[in-house]
Amino acid sequence: MLQYVSRTSAVRGIGYPSLVRCYPAGRPGGSSDEAELDSARKWLAKLDPETIPRGICDITFSRSSGPGGQNVNNRYHAAKGNDIVIQADESRKQTNNVNACFKKLNELIIEAGREAVPGETSPEQTKRVEMLQKAEAAGRRKMKEFQSKKKSARRSGSGRGDD
């Protein structure tokens, strides 16, 4: 039996873990963390669709949706799981659609990496943050002193109007 090769190709990738930004913008004394972040930034910078190993994905091709192809590729027949399904049908050629799928996977990984790995903080920004933290601490200290003086004035009895 002759099967039609479709214009639609799909790439099933490895499970998609929930990526949450777990690093604050700056950690005091985090040299090992900084080295890890630097290596993650370099890895993301080098990543492109050609560097993604083709073996980590299951590549499948769906049948044509042309005449007689009703209910072939509907959502009820799709496998459910923790996989990412990336689909492309921009071209009539299978290889172009596979490359388009890997390009989409690359963009997805880079987007997740941008959310998970913070950018480098400039020395000016670090200094500005330190100054803001010092100003906040000074303002908090001033407010505490004000509240303390107000309470001590109440305790001493002055200002109550007891004649």
- pTM for the predicted model, two decimal places: 0.50
Measuring CA to CA, which residue among 7, 3, 2, 9 is closest to residue 61? 9
* pLDDT value of residue 71: 60
Where are the chain's structural domains?
A: 9-121, 122-158
- Quote the pLDDT of residue 135: 96
How far is it, in rounded angstroms, from Cα 112 to Cα 148? 49
Q: Which residues of the chain have pLDDT under 70?
A: 1-32, 63-80, 158-163
- What pLDDT sits at residue 51? 84
| Confidence (pLDDT) at 5 | 37
Q: What is the pLDDT of residue 160?
A: 54
DSSP state of 57: S
pLDDT at 144: 97
Q: Which two tokens stand for residue 33?
A: 């963390």
